[in-house]
Structure formats: C-alpha cells, structure tokens
Amino acid sequence: MGIVTSKEMFKKAYDGGYAIGAFNVNNMEIVQGITEAAIELHAPLILQVSKGARNYAKHVYLMKLIEAAVQDAEQTAGFDLPIVVHLDHGDSFELCKSCIDGGFSSVMIDKSGLPFEENIKITKQVVEYAHDHGVVVEAELGTLAGVEDEVNVSAEDSSYTRPEDVQEFVERTGCDSLAIAIGTSHGAYKFTAKQCTRDPITGKLVPPPLRFDILEEVSRRLPGFPIVLHGSSSVPQEFVDKINKYGGKRPDAVGIPEEQLREAAKMAVCKINIDSDLRLALTACIREHFWEHPDHFDPRQYLTPGRAAIREMVKHKIVNVLGCDGKA
C-alpha cells in the first residue's frame, strides 16, 4: 500500500462514520511520533506539509522521511501503513504542480480568499493537472480565522461557507474533497475571551459551538462527498498549563471541544486537520524537560520525550476524536 491517495480512505471513512487525521509534519521526530501512533493503532493516516514546512525542511527531506516511515512500518511492525502525502494550503498552481511532480498523492489549492469565480478558475486548473497525474485535490470555500502560512486572518474577515455555493463549486472544479468554514480556526488562539462564555463552575472559557446546521446543509447538497475541517486543534488545557508553568507564555488559549469534532467525524467530515495540538505537546514536553534538567544539551535527551509526547497526542486523537483506530 504505502503512499496512496485519499480516494478509498475517504469512501470508507464516510460510510463508517469516522475521519482520518491530517497531521502537519516539519521534521523527523514529528513524522516518527505520528507514524508510531498510526502503526500501533492500525489507523489510516494523512501527513501534510505546508509551504512553510517545505521551506523549513525541503521537499526532498520530508518526502524521504515519509517513505522511510512506510518502510519502517513494514519491516519492524509487519504493517502496511497507508499514508496520504498532502500539500496543506497550496497557494498557487506552481506550488501544487511542484508537489505533484515531487511525489505527493494529494494537494490542497486554497483560493478561498479570492472571489468565487477566481477560486473556481485556479482550483479547476490544479484539478486538471493533478488528475492527469493520479493525484487528488482538496479545495476550500469560506474563510477560517487565525494564522495561515504566516498570514493572520482576523475574526472579522472570516466567513462561514455558504451551502448554496457548494454544489456549483464542486461540479465546476471537479475537486475531490472540500474544506468548509463552520467555526473552526487556525492556531492555538481560536477565540478571544469576548467570543466565549465562561463556565460558571470551572470558570473556564467556553467557545461558541460549531455550526452543525451548515455542515448538515452542505452534506445534504453533496451526498457522499468528503468534507474537510481545518483548524481542528482542541488546545488541551493541561498542555497550556504546562507551558505556562515551565516558563512559557500562552495565556487564555482556547480550542475546539473534542466532542464536537467527534460528532463532525460521524457526519460527512472525512479529514480533520490538527497541527497546533502537536506543537503544544512538543513545546510543553521540552519546556518541562529543560526545567527539570537544565544541564542537558544533547538534543536526543529532549527530542526523545518530545517525540513520545507527539505519539501519545496522536493516539489520543485517533481514538477520541477521529474514531479511525483499527480501520487500516
């Protein structure tokens, strides 16, 4: 199996009422932590690479690391790990083409910030090239708030997906999956305190609920079609607390409640994007490590527990959010 497209994965996920986790990768320890979790739980997997990750690590390094993970799974666990290698938030035809030519099995073209007709035009161009090369395409309608490839989209500039647009968009572009905006947002600061209410007992911030009415209407108009949710980290309080305790500064970070993502995964959502939670797990772990071992300076001393923290986080997501354990 090895590197595959998401076509079959999404069909099974749609019918089975679960979702596939799409985790962002930037280096070897992150690739290893995520794939170890997927191997242990026999979960299908999407590893995604942003433009920033590609600039940081170089395409060829990330590609070879992912190929190594597939080979290692087979050799050490006897497991044929199915992995989709996906470009996250491709912002141009050229970037998508370069990833397709370089062996990715899936790309996202994100022109959701452009007017409808321009979004259709560029998405269609990417779809034609991708399909000619056996690669699938994710597109986006609606705008999420938060930081995307170093650009910050304010809450005021974000907008929910309009269900009345989705059929025409999918038919005219030929895209294979569609990311929609129903209230998730990128980064560890998804909501301001003003957008939230406060739990009267715990005093914790409670974010506004996801717009399940939009998701339902989109899936009614696109039966059987895979929907994608970006910005789906839950920003677990224990990691925020740990970062703050060990010298970091992440006050009042709020994410998407896991139960709501689980509900979405039971519906038409087949791909759930998680990056910030992995960053939190890694950062919290390394901060704690240095606090307890200020004399350490060998990267293996802090990257070993860092990789394990990522593995445990991904295992938690596979079981509690995605429901895709045992599905590979």
C-alpha separations of 282 from 58, 288, 297 in Å: 21, 10, 17
Would you call 229 helix, strand, or coil by DSSP?
A: strand
53 binds, among ligand G3H, Zn ion, ligand 13P, none (CB under 5 to 8 A by kind): ligand G3H
Residue 267 main-chain phi, psi, to 5 deg:
-95, -135
274 binds, among Zn ion, ligand 13P, ligand G3H, none (CB under 5 to 8 A by kind): ligand 13P
Q: How far apart are CA 110 and CA 1, in angstroms?
A: 28
Q: C-beta of 230: minimal distance to Zn ion in Å?
A: 3
Q: Between residue 276 and residue 305, which ones bind ligand G3H under the rule CB under 6 A?
A: none
Q: How far apart are CA 150 and CA 161, in angstroms?
A: 22
Q: Between residue 186 and residue 215, which ones bind ligand G3H under the rule CB under 6 A?
A: 186
- Burial (CB count <10 Å: 0-12, 13-18, 19+), residue 115: exposed
Bridge partners of 138? Answer: 108, 177
Q: Between residue 248 and residue 267, which ones bind ligand G3H under the rule CB under 6 A?
A: none
Would you call 197 helix, strand, or coil by DSSP?
A: strand
b/e per residue, 242-258, with b = 16+ CB within 10 A? Answer: bbeebebebeebbbbeb
Count CB neighbours of 204 within 10 A.
10
Nearer of residues 53 and 318 to ligand G3H, judged by Cβ: 53
| Cα Rg of the chain (Å, integer) | 19
44 binds, among Zn ion, ligand G3H, ligand 13P, none (CB under 5 to 8 A by kind): none
Total residues interacting with ligand 13P, rule: CB under 6 A: 14
C-alpha separations of 229 from 13, 19, 179, 215, 236 in Å: 14, 10, 6, 10, 18
242 binds, among Zn ion, ligand G3H, ligand 13P, none (CB under 5 to 8 A by kind): none
Count H helices and E strands in the chain, helices first. Answer: 12, 12
Q: Which range binds Zn ion by CB under 5 A, 100-108, 192-200, 229-237, 276-284?
A: 229-237
For ligand 13P, the binding residue among 5, 177, 233, 283 (CB under 6 A) is: 233
277 belongs to the catalytic site: no
Start-to-end C-alpha separation, the chain: 10
Task: Dump strand ranges (E) for the chain.
Answer: 20-24, 45-50, 83-90, 106-109, 136-141, 146-148, 151-153, 177-180, 197-198, 205-206, 227-229, 269-274
207 binds, among ligand G3H, Zn ion, ligand 13P, none (CB under 5 to 8 A by kind): none
Indicate which residue of 80, 88, 213, 252 is catalytic. Answer: 88
Q: C-beta of 86: minimal distance to Zn ion in Å?
A: 11
Check residue 236 for interaction with ligand 13P (CB under 6 A).
Answer: no
For Zn ion, the binding residue among 51, 230, 311, 315 (CB under 5 A) is: 230
Nearer of residues 149 and 217 to ligand G3H, judged by Cβ: 149
Check residue 230 for interaction with ligand 13P (CB under 6 A).
Answer: yes
Q: Which range binds ligand 13P by CB under 6 A, 99-107, 196-204, 207-215, 231-239?
A: 231-239
Total residues interacting with Zn ion, rule: CB under 5 A: 1
Which positions from 17 to 36 touch ligand 13P by CB under 6 A, shown as an x/- string? -------x------------
Q: Between residue 44 and residue 103, which ones bind ligand G3H under the rule CB under 6 A?
A: 50, 52-53, 88-89
Binding residues for ligand 13P, rule: CB under 6 A, are 24, 88-89, 186-187, 230-233, 273-277
Binding residues for Zn ion, rule: CB under 5 A, are 230
Binding residues for ligand G3H, rule: CB under 6 A, are 24, 50, 52-53, 88-89, 148-149, 186, 275
